[in-house]
Amino acid sequence: MDARVFQSYSARAEGMKNPIAKELLALMEEKQSNLSVAVDLTKKSEILELVDKIGPYVCVIKTHIDVVEDFDQDMVEKLVALGKKHRFLIFEDRKFADIGNTVKLQYASGVYKIASWAHITNCHTVPGEGIIQGLKEVGLPLGRGLLLLAEMSSKGSLATGSYTEKTLEWFEKHTDFCFGFIAGRRFPNLQSDYITMSPGIGLDVKGDGLGQQYRTPEEVIVNCGSDIIIVGRGVYGAGRNPVVEAKRYREAGWKAYQQRLSQH
Amino acid sequence: MDARVFQSYSARAEGMKNPIAKELLALMEEKQSNLSVAVDLTKKSEILELVDKIGPYVCVIKTHIDVVEDFDQDMVEKLVALGKKHRFLIFEDRKFADIGNTVKLQYASGVYKIASWAHITNCHTVPGEGIIQGLKEVGLPLGRGLLLLAEMSSKGSLATGSYTEKTLEWFEKHTDFCFGFIAGRRFPNLQSDYITMSPGIGLDVKGDGLGQQYRTPEEVIVNCGSDIIIVGRGVYGAGRNPVVEAKRYREAGWKAYQQRLSQH
């Protein structure tokens, strides 16, 4: 496997062009956390309450801002304030998927003004390289970073083969803005170092009946070379104590990382 | 080419399972319009003013609701009212692109509650068939319809080959909810009839520098078997009179349709 994954997160920060990637890797080492929690709740108060509880244990809070019923500017301000209090970055999992001219507007404008508060966002590459260029025109001047989707963990995903290869090729051309992937594994043979964030992580369940499939932290970090585990309902689903679970997943993720480091 | 495209829109309504598709085809014949205008403005008042002007000439108004700076519930109500006044359907070009469980929330909930007002929406199939299933669980009970993206007109699009083929295969399994495609051409060999809506249509320009490429109504309707032309900045761009342009594109689109009918 790519030798860079056997270096510490903080050592790898130097090899990154994007400022958000450097900040993220330093922060992960500092907090000893490679855990990102996907907060898919729909009420502002519930989201802010949850984030305040789990903030100390995560490196990234992942949002789907467009499922929040009572979203307002105040919510963004409070979320940003929690990010400063607990030292985490905010990743709006928007999965942009339109042509360059449209995503520029979707990223910068509208009710959400994602670029104004989300350190990180992501996009599909299905529209072609123009989507990266469009997002970059908005995000780069603001010091933001972009993740690409080169594969998906859901059943029957079409991001495979030449789709994945082309995405990796475009990635290499935009490492000033793109700093990693949402993917289940480390991709081989990339010239630039990058961060891999893996969704679909669970310690207790296997699937949700709508195509989502779960894997363990050890599997993605140790075996597949990923860097950050993304956990959703595993942390705050019905009957779970979010602080207990966030600690548990953080520990599982960090242990997997240390196991990887110890291999070389 | 698929013989069904040489039938009239109204005759094809009978072959459709989805109620929105039936309504749309009847409405197109009645208004003699296969023109959809992509309204990508960012101010509520400008959007409503434009839609009120061009409403009589279009069959579908296509929105990107998440670029509207001052979106509110009143805007939706006024848009729906204009749709009833001028007889057009509303298509929110959301390009959903996440796993089933997430798109259900994005479609039904949040600030926009897309499913509550958009007759039509669309999705990418890159996450797998689960995205269609998820959206269907929300949209079908509301009598909505879904378009799939099986190809894109933007430069370097990755929706080609097996990506396109798999999308067509899933389409056939969900014709109660899916009624067509956003695509530049009619796909051959589909068992079910369906509606093709083609973006990237322009009579005067060739591209926008961010990967968008333009084609003429005749090219997509006559040569490529598409059914509806989607025109954006060609209708309301700087220096244009939207009513004049909407009439011009409607005429060009309808003429192309009649030319196609006359071939058989």
CB contact under 8 A, A111 and B66: yes
| Closest residue of chain A to B69, computed from CA coordinates | A110
The helix (H) or strand (E) run that includes residue A198 is strand A195-198
Q: What is the pTM of this model?
A: 0.95
Distance CA A140, CA A150 (A): 21
Per-residue pLDDT for A80 more than 80? yes
B184–chain A nearest CA distance, Å: 13
Q: Torsion angle of alpha carbons B27, B28, B33, B37, nearest 10°?
A: 80
Check the annotation: does B107 bind a ligand: no
- In this complex, do B157 and A210 lie within 8 Å of one another by their Cβ atoms? no
Q: Would you say the C-alpha torsion B2, B3, B5, B6 has a positive or negative sign?
A: positive
Catalytic residues of B: 95
Please report which confidence band the pLDDT of residue A55 belongs to, taking 50, 70 and 90 as the band edges. Answer: very high
* Percent of chain A residues topping a pLDDT of 90: 90
User: How far A39 CA lies from chain B's nearest CA (Å)?
Assistant: 11
In this complex, is the C-beta atom of A125 within 8 Å of any C-beta atom belonging to chain B? yes
Flag if B67 and A110 touch (Cβ within 8 Å): yes
Query: How far apart are the C-alpha atoms of A56 and A53, rounded to whole Å?
Result: 7
Helix (H) or strand (E) holding B152: none
What is d(CA B105, CA A11) in angstroms, rounded to the nearest whole number?
39
Strand intervals (E) in A55-97: 60-63, 89-96
Whether the pLDDT of residue A70 is over 90: the answer is yes
Q: What is the least distance, in Å, from the CA of B201 to any CA of chain A?
A: 14
For residues A264 and A6, is the Cβ–Cβ distance under 8 A? yes
Separation CA A195–CA B130 (nearest Å): 27
What local confidence, expressed as pLDDT, does residue A181 receive? 98
- What φ, ψ does residue A123 adopt, rounded to 5°? -150, 155
Position B206 pLDDT exceeds 70: no
Name the residue among A42, A208, A212 with its Cβ closest to that of B109. A42
Q: Is residue A179 very low, low, confident or very high in pLDDT (cuts 50, 70, 90)?
A: very high
Q: Would you call A128 and B157 a contact, using CB atoms and an 8 Å cutoff?
A: yes
User: Does the distance separating the beta carbons of A130 and B154 come in below 8 Å?
Assistant: yes
Which of B 192-221 lie inside 8 A of A, CB atoms? Answer: 208, 210-212
Check if CATH label 3.20.20.70 holds for domain B3-262.
Answer: yes
B25: pLDDT strictly greater than 90: yes
Determine the 3-state secondary structure of A72 from DSSP: coil
With 0-12 / 13-18 / 19 or more C-beta atoms within 10 angstroms meaning exposed / middle / buried, residue B88 is buried
Report the SS3 class of residue B211.
Answer: coil
With 70 as the cut, is the pLDDT of residue B72 above it? yes
> Per the structure block, which two tokens stand in for B58?
């279009």
B74 Cβ neighbours under 8 A, 6+ residues apart:
none
Q: Round to whole Å and give the CA distance between B201 and A70.
A: 37
In terms of Cα–Cα distance, which of B27, B155, B170 is closest to B91? Answer: B27
Q: What is the pLDDT of residue B255?
A: 98
Report the alpha-carbon distance of residue B228 to residue B200 in Å, rounded.
11
Is A67 within 8 Å of B102 when comparing Cβ atoms? yes
Is B15 annotated as a binding-site member? no
**pLDDT at residue A229 tops 70:** yes
Interface of A with B in 70-89 (CB under 8 A): 71
Res A205 pLDDT > 80: no
Quote the percentage of chain B above a pLDDT of 90.
90
- At residue B37, the pLDDT reads 98
Mean pLDDT value of segment A74-81: 98
For range A180-191, the mean pLDDT: 94
Whether the CA torsion A126, A127, A133, A136 is positive or negative: it is: negative
User: Average per-residue pLDDT in chain A?
Assistant: 95
What percent of chain A stands above pLDDT 70?
Answer: 97
**Lowest-confidence region among A163-177, B90-104, B207-221, B247-261:** B207-221
Contacting residues for B77 by C-beta, under 8 A, at least 6 apart: none
Element at A147 (helix H, strand E): strand A145-149
**Backbone φ and ψ of A90, nearest 5°:** -110, 130
Average pLDDT of the segment spanning A105-132: 97
Q: Looking at the predicted structure, is the pLDDT value of residue A35 above 80?
A: yes
CA distance A163 to B158: 6
Give the pLDDT score at B264.
76
B130 contacts A99? CB cut-off 8 A: no
Q: What is the pLDDT of residues A127-155, one digit of tens each?
A: 999 999 999 999 999 999 999 999 998 88
B208: chain A residues, CB-CB within 8 Å: 100-101
Nearest to A67 among B40, B66, B110 (CB): B110
Residues B121-144 have pLDDT tens digits of 999 999 999 999 999 999 999 999
Using CB atoms, which residue from B93, B127, B152 is nearest to A211?
B127
User: Could you tell me how many helices (H) and strands (E) chain A has, helices first?
Assistant: 10, 8
pLDDT 10s digits, A210-224: 666 689 999 999 999
Average pLDDT over chain B, rounded to an integer: 95
- For residue A24, the SS3 value is helix
Q: How many CB pairs under 8 A join A and B?
A: 174
Query: Would you tell me how many other CB atoms lie within 10 Å of the CB of residue A113?
Result: 15
Of B163 and A206, more confident: B163
Does the pLDDT of residue B210 top 80, yes or no?
no
Residue B212: per-residue pLDDT: 62
Rounded to whole angstroms, how far apart are CA atoms B108 and A140? 32
Two tokens at B80?
Answer: 């729906």
